[in-house]
Amino acid sequence: MPQTEEMNTLEVLGEIGIRLVPENPTARMCKAGCAVGDLDPLTVQRVYNAMLIAAIDCRLHGDHSLN
């Protein structure tokens, strides 16, 4: 399958550490969050949503990055 401009863009974003994620965590994501954090599914969803909201105001580099 030929690479489209959109696929190219996603590849470039991935190379700099940016991922396209769902607005709400999937069942598999919740299960992983529950296992890692010893949390209930509702808390995992709240944490996930809080992180997405917080990411809106974060710069991609510098002091605001975990890397």
CA dist., res. 18 & res. 21, Å (int): 9
Alpha helices in 1-67, H assignment, sequence order: 5-15, 27-37, 41-56
Q: 61 with 16: CB under 8 angstroms? A: no
What pLDDT is attached to residue 65? Answer: 55
- More confident of the two residues 2 and 43: 43
Whole-prediction pTM: 0.70
* pLDDT tens per residue, range 5-46: 888 888 888 888 888 899 999 999 999 999 999 999 999 999
Tell me which residue has tokens 């709400």. 24
What pLDDT is attached to residue 43? Answer: 96
Q: What is the residue extent of each domain of the chain? A: 21-67
- More confident of the two residues 48 and 13: 48
Residue 49 has pLDDT above 90, yes or no: yes
